[in-house]
Structure 1
């Protein structure tokens, strides 16, 4: 497999293809530098992880430390802005350095002429390569290129799992700075998951299902006076531990178990879910949790207008709406296709359905597609043009999205992310995910949970986190790691204050 064959192979595979192309180019460059007795360090392991790679001894005839960046889209104005910004940062670190930009796309003559004029105004050595430059390099290492093409996936995997993870908080700080820039632009959306609601004490999925099982069994057996709910709960909990049905299947079973007929069935089911959702709230948590407050504050319009374009929520509850109303932020809850916000309203799209505690404030709630059971999920997943899919996809394509309280495992969301990632060069979305700490993974108090040396466990966890980062990057998402839930509202507040 030669150089051109490799580029063609991954050209149509979206974000994943771009990363594979980048991996091929980096390994080719590494092979080239090693033949000169020089080193290539990947960005995440170098002193400047904002770059794709770093050559401390330079390359070819240059011995200057060289910072390298690979890009698939070259806009002259954007490149000049990027170079100016990087030079301002690097001037504080290195007395002398060089920059090498590598484009995966051919460069036209006008671009190269503009670049030469721009370059003449800088003392810094700036180089730009197109595919033709790399093809010449590849020709010098034909046997090596063949091996790279045959083992590219293994090399990419190895690169991913060997990334240094000790400075993850520094990496997060750099990502937060990028989020601030996106927030200031106003092309910014929030995607909210169950973690947001649980911060206010609302039940998680399993707790809600367990309670609905109790409600169903009590009703069906007509033994509410004979069996205490905690007894039934204990039985159901053990049954679920033994049988382990999926949550969606359980929900479908509950819904069918409660059924009577037609509209009455749906009404009964929805009323039961709504009742249990708010009844089971853990009162030890404030209903306006610090996380919910920080999200609402982020939605507050500033002097230059609203910065949050829209909110997409997978939660049924109305807790965000309550906090927005308290702050007098004009908003509209949207849970059906025909509903549209006015220009001054912040839209809150309940793409899995909406179950407000006070239903009297809303009309047409019965038309909301409640994605609680298998039927509801299949209805949306299989309908590419369902309004909720179009809303999510539009936001993923048109905005920078920050995902809070989501596990990022939902197959429909991942499918939509993959579609949206085909039109972007680099990951532009961000997701808060909890990092597995060494102590909590290996021990439960004084009890040892893993029979392995601490160093081995630490290496495994580092590689686990690195692989998660790479998987989500291929879907266009950067991970904002946290270890403590309290970190999330603090970071959101920091982003919000960046425009003040």
Structure 2
């Protein structure tokens, strides 16, 4: 949600400017027990021993440790980015895109009417149930007139927005670091139509670089231009290129004779470490590339799969383990090592660790050790956890800084909107514990923690009641309404915190939550447009990162 998001229940997203008046924004707090009253029904039925827990220790254990070590040692690396890197930016999954196209094709052909919602839903459900998504795509192609399908795909991919309204998410944002580490020995493939990978490279705040979409033709570009190979065609902000592969017929045509896709992916599989990211490996052509290889020794291959959103809370843990064992065996037969991570935040972290290990070589320090040093230093030098006296003194100082951070964020939004906010907001700082298994409410903006023993860690779990925890798990901004009789806070937004510096590298260290006493349809936290929201988030995070850097200044 760092990129554009829809607000289906709030159509007037940008209120007109109002006459300037004295700002009346109050800075409050989010009492821990009140935020904890926000519940997700399915969370109540989840057994504690079935939780999928973020833990830094996974990064020093196989197979994740092996992925990082192989990246350090390999001379060449190839990445294949699947739909997961588009979904994290707010674009639809491949199946969701097919469903949108089914509706468009049915309406254009006169089979459906937009007023018949039940008929539309049944049309989509029956097409998918009877023919699968590839077959449903063939139905779309059959109903489209010449040239229409190429026009429809971008329309339903981006909806009412344009490609330039979407921004790279945490996974794509690791591509520049991998280019830094591997240089021209990195190849990037994608089955996505969008240009988020290219934008991540161009917009990198540390080392922006040129990037170009490759769809089979020779590109006369310089050696410093990173080429992103779009295996299924390209429909980015600068137009379309290549054939947009969607239907059964498209896949069959690619299998007739030698294609540039088969040649390049085959060469990469044979000559470099190959990592599938954000892909379910269900693509027919990817299966053909893997199963069609000759036997023999091969460079390392990995596929990173995410458990989050895969299992319902009531699914027994034994079912999950049995399925994962079968998945490992299936892909192990073609030389692919499956790496299961619990949450989306760990995918971007894995790519970051690969880049850091390659760049530092034998001096690379694993994430658990770096995180432990960072947390211990913050606990001692910023939070004052060693003694009650230092803890209470630190509380006063931190709360003052949090108030200043919130005021700075509101001021930034007011400048961009050219209007003043009249709203009571609150800010809470959550930080991770040393093993990376819990988030802890370390400070709020209008009360002080007095007794260290009363602060309870919250287990990091995708079904947690706490917005801060769920935002941390996804590595994305989350927002939700809250309607509980005991709370005066009605809307909450969680912004994940990730430090990234030379000393410690990239570490997900926590989350800040901002809460309003106004409801969703009243609060500026939901009404501001994307540019204003970005300014608010940037100012808030900048101030928080300054606070968190304080213990490390010499």
Shorter-chain TM-score: which interval?
0.5 to 0.7
Q: What corresponds to 1:258 in structure 2? A: 144
Q: Distance in 1 between matches of 2:70 and 2:160?
A: 35
Work out the CA distance in 2 between the residues paired with 1:237 and 1:219. 14
> Residue in 2 aligned with 1:239?
126
Report the counterpart of residue 295 of structure 1 in structure 2: 175
1:255/1:485 CA distance change after superposition, 3 Å: same
* Separation in structure 1 between the aligned mates of residue 124 and residue 67 of structure 2, nearest angstrom: 41
SS in 2 for 1:246: helix
Distance in 1 (CA, whole Å) between partners of 2:227 and 2:202 is 13
TM-score scaled to structure 1, two decimals?
0.53
Superposed CA deviations along residues 270-315 of structure 1, whole A, max 9, x for unmatched, are 11111110117799x972211121234323x35xx61652111111
- Which residue among 335, 346, 370 is the counterpart of 1:476? 335
Scaled by the length of structure 2, the TM-score of the pair is 0.49
Cα deviation digits, residues 41-80 of structure 1 (max 9, x gap) = xxxxxxxxxxxxxxxxxxxxxxxxxxxxxxxxxxxxxxxx
Provide the rounded CA distance (Å) in 2 between the counterparts of 1:210 and 1:464: 27
For the residues of structure 1 that align with 2:287 and 2:101, how far apart are their CA atoms? 29
Which of these residues, 265, 282, 306, is aligned with residue 434 of structure 1? 306
Instruction: Indicate if the aligned counterparts of 2:79 and 2:277 stay in contact, CA closer than 8 A.
Output: yes
8 Å contact kept, 2:68–2:350:
no
Change (3 A) 1:173 1:219: closer
Question: Offset of 1:430 from its aligned partner?
Answer: 1.2
Q: Higher helix share goes to which structure?
A: 1
Distance 2:348 2:185 in 1: 16
State the shift of 1:415 in Å.
2.9
Partner secondary structure for residue 109 of structure 2: helix
Provide the residue aligned with 2:193 in structure 1. Answer: 316
Q: Which of 306, 325, 334 in structure 1 is aligned with 2:183?
A: 306
Q: Which residue of 2 aligns with 1:43?
A: none
Gaps of 5+ in 2: 1-56, 361-554
Q: State how many pairs are aligned.
A: 298
- CA displacement 1:78-137 (0-9 Å, x = unmatched): xxxxxxxxxxxxxxxxxxxxxxxxxxxxxxxxxxxxxxxxxxxxxxxxxxxxxxxxxxxx
Q: Residue 198 of structure 2: SS of its match in structure 1?
A: helix
Match runs of 1:76-475 below 5 Å: 170-182=61-73, 185=75, 187-221=76-110, 227-228=114-115, 233-240=120-127, 243-259=129-145, 265-266=146-147, 268-279=148-159, 287-299=167-179, 301-302=180-181, 306=183, 308-327=185-204, 328-339=208-219, 342-359=222-239, 365=241, 368-383=242-257, 385-420=258-293, 422-424=295-297, 428-435=300-307, 441=311, 444=313, 448=314, 458=318, 460-475=319-334
The unaligned stretches of length 5 or more in structure 1 are: 1-166, 260-264
Moved over 6 A (4+): 280-283
Partners of 2:101 and 2:156 within 8 A in 1: yes
Other-structure match for 1:58: none
Separation of aligned partners in 1, 2:305 and 2:245 = 23
| Distance (whole Å) between structure 1 residues aligned to residue 341 and residue 161 of structure 2 | 25
**How far 1:417 sits from its partner (Å)?**
2.2
Aligned equivalents of 1:307, 1:480: Cα separation in 2? 26
Looking at structure 2, the residues matched to 214 and 495 of structure 1 have their Cα atoms a distance apart, in angstroms, of: 42
RMSD: 3.1
Distance 1:239 1:222 in 2: 14
